[in-house]
Structure 1
């Protein structure tokens, strides 16, 4: 039975129990589900081609053995088989393959197989997200098959392309513009058409990467300014009488308040969801623009849909049936970064502590390919349960990617290799560098690269901060398509350059020993490096 049929035949309380009942679990009950599903997955995975290769033909008999025998894995452990899409080596037959960026400038893509059971679980958890996005309290939600959703998603084979497919199996929600039409349009064309259609039909749901939803939301004002032209948003024939009245009132109110038109002046969202990295940078602005705070979810190519906030918007809870979760404590992660041969130990969901940060490790259930897989994401445990929500399981917030990756607005996967490639291709006389993810005065993310020029290099206006920035920007776009998309889709060029005094890195190594980590080094190391350091002015002078 489709969800929209259940809406007519089943009570809200029963639907809440079916889809959101996991919020009622105790930690013990959560772990019982986790361990039961992992035992089922161990049977499938251990006997598969992938499992036999990683385990060397051994089969773990229990969960403790599974965690001892299966090493922590990364995509390199699966790449040769998965990139060939070899069904025969998988634990179960996939229905489709989902794709994403692997590492800009080095590995173009990575793919992940999805079985029918995985997709069924994804669909149920996605419906739970929609229910929670429209809720204001426990047991209450507002979904209707007559609703409309603004299309701001990447199509299949990307993970966000699953949403219209799976949602369509459950409800006749109308996407604006229609999915097949939207997939043939440019990003700008989709925005204009979506808002234009929304003026005639209304918009009840909005979902996308936090950075993308922010850009789309801000673009509404610009579209309104140019709407008097042919085909603009204000074309009377395309606007319903209800929306026309709302538009007239909104423009009058904005004029009185001396501000630009905002989406909240025209649309009343029931549900607003955002995913990806850096959502914390955009949530406050998005709430101001739409009058409703976006609910954060976590979904990814390898892990599927694994977590969601609730009506309180105060931390995410993991679904117990998508993956088996392990957590590498921050101190263990840092020790492993300093010594790649060190094997970090992991904790389970019933062992995490409030206030601590953890790198997430997953085993995908229901026939998934990945076991004890390091996703590359860091979470903070915000607490065990929440009295206001009546929950008792751990609650998390998304922090960022692991320190060796700089992710900007959910688009890039910048690594030491991609920066080194850009520096080499640029031909600039850069001797040493390190890079950090930082945030500007608007709290938006940027890539800050500190460079030291080669000894004897003439420091002049010809080798200025702007010259280096311009050169590296060109080559980043060359080696990393996702970096290009930042500019193309979001109008962002997040690169910031600081030139350091010649000899800075050598002095650091002499004084403290060891090399500075190239990507996101610890704060205390950066402070040491910059002690008594005078950066070079934009014109090249000290």
Structure 2
């Protein structure tokens, strides 16, 4: 099991690593045994509350197999009567905190966090920092008082919650501090404040969206020229040293000239598309995790190799719906898909993730509609014996083209970057055209390039990253891609409209994959205005 509250005052480096990162040494059978034990402990809590009785239909399962037979697969709507008004009396345990994530239309979905799960989650934040800063097994560089620059929304948003409390557990110096309440609308000003602070204090770790990190890298040289006034001595020294480095390298100033990062945390489907540019600008290979608010944590994260992700067994019980079963259930709401366990996964196949919270959490056999692809059943490079996977996208956002391929967001990001298409933002939809469905990609851009040339380049890149998409043309002579160019600012203006209409600004998303008909129609109306 994991450790305690004081990582730095207890034991040698090896003891710290073994305590917080020992799950990397588990076999699949050991992983499943831990999962089963924690699930049975959780069932005893769940059986004593109103929510649990509703989930388990008044029964108390005697083992994990009975639990999977008795409890149906669930979605958030099942829990709304119990948690939308924070009915703590209906839950297995009284929550320590309430966190939130996005819901339909930008409305918050609330998630209760049990006290014991909070402690385990904080330990896993330590685990992730140790593993993320490691060069090899046990060779980590994370230290107390490391400077951590985070562009995060405020708690109770889950990412802000993790930044605030995870930093406290790791004993980081948070830049800017979260010692005062702030609104989401304050985030740009806070980020600017944090950037100025970081120029003086330095940065060891950073958390930001990949696109933001790339934009900062691209704009930094211009920002240098427009700076005004005499900066503090530490900032002045840091910037002078950085300018010397950039001139010796015969290139514009970039963030790696200013800071030497130990760890760059990122999240989002665009990570792989921006990875090379982040490495170029920041000198750090971004570290990816699979985080899920309803799961209350990070079910899986990368190791020091920065390749596929490794699951950990401590915060929730894993089940997996094979992709064929997931597809059937999407088209037939009455269909009950089967699930398998971690020791039944197959390399090269994709699955929809299903999970059950441990320690008195609310969600049981819950479907967040997240798809993963298992790339291997172990990692021979690191000696890890657990399945390795990548996050594929949301099951209900994949675009099915004639049954040949299910296009995901990750692939489109990669193809857009590979095709070297200049864009501000984009959306992709499955649309009908005569007898065939088409993949219609809309990009906001100010490019003067010929749209047909851009389409051809994107088509070639999509074939490069999705062999099943290539089969459509190679086997059937069918090219399903359509490309439409939209003016700059279209998606931003649509987002602003949603906020004015009352949607939570943290979760006003352009829904890049398969936006609703209403959203797509309005975006196109704005483009034509």
Q: TM-score, normalised by structure 1?
A: 0.75
Displacement of 1:217 in angstroms is 4.3
SS in 2 for 1:341: coil
User: For 1:18 and 1:2, how far apart are their aligned partners in 2?
Assistant: 6
Partners of 2:175 and 2:194 within 8 A in 1: yes
Q: Which residue of 1 aligns with 2:96?
A: 95
SS in 1 for 2:369: strand
Structure 1 residue runs of 4+, over 6 Å off?
1-4, 450-453, 465-473, 480-484, 492-496, 517-520
Q: C-alpha offsets along residues 258-289 of structure 1, whole Å, 9 cap, x if unaligned?
A: xx321111110011111243322222221221
Q: Which residue of 2 aligns with 1:141?
A: 140
Q: Are 1:324 and 2:304 matched, yes or no?
A: no
User: For 2:54 and 2:511, how far apart are their aligned partners in 1?
Assistant: 42
SS in 1 for 2:47: helix
Partners of 1:176 and 1:197 within 8 A in 2: yes
Q: Are 1:249 and 2:229 matched, yes or no?
A: no
Q: Are 1:356 and 2:331 matched, yes or no?
A: no
Count of equivalent residues: 451
User: For 2:136 and 2:383, how far apart are their aligned partners in 1?
Assistant: 11
Partners of 2:242 and 2:253 within 8 A in 1: no
Q: Are 1:441 and 2:422 matched, yes or no?
A: no
Q: C-alpha offsets along residues 153-178 of structure 1, whole Å, 9 cap, x if unaligned?
A: 11101011223432344343212222
User: For 1:474 and 1:211, how far apart are their aligned partners in 2?
Assistant: 19
Which has the larger Rg?
Answer: 1
SS in 2 for 1:236: coil
Q: 1:303 aligns with which of 295, 307, 332?
A: 295
User: For 2:26 and 2:311, how far apart are their aligned partners in 1?
Assistant: 11
Counterparts of residues 215-226 of structure 1 (less than 5 Å): 215-226=215-226
User: For 1:487 and 1:350, how far apart are their aligned partners in 2?
Assistant: 35
User: For 1:486 and 1:51, how far apart are their aligned partners in 2?
Assistant: 31
Q: 1:336 aligns with which of 304, 329, 332?
A: 329
User: For 1:471 and 1:136, how far apart are their aligned partners in 2?
Assistant: 43
Counterparts of residues 258-337 of structure 1 (less than 5 Å): 260-305=252-297, 306-337=299-330
Unaligned runs of 5+ in 2: 400-406, 434-483, 518-526
SS in 2 for 1:104: helix
User: For 2:47 and 2:215, how far apart are their aligned partners in 1?
Assistant: 45
SS in 2 for 1:382: strand
User: For 1:74 and 1:475, how far apart are their aligned partners in 2?
Assistant: 28
Which 10-residue stretch deviates more, 36-45 or 168-177?
168-177
Displacement of 1:480 in angstroms is 6.5
Q: Which residue of 1 aligns with 2:497?
A: 478
Q: Are 1:239 and 2:234 matched, yes or no?
A: yes
Is the alpha carbon distance of 1:90 and 1:243 closer, same or farther for their aligned partners in structure 2, counting shifts above 3 Å?
Answer: same
Unaligned runs of 5+ in 1: 407-434, 454-464, 497-516, 521-537
Displacement of 1:313 in angstroms is 0.8
User: For the aligned residues, what is the CA RMSD?
Assistant: 3.5
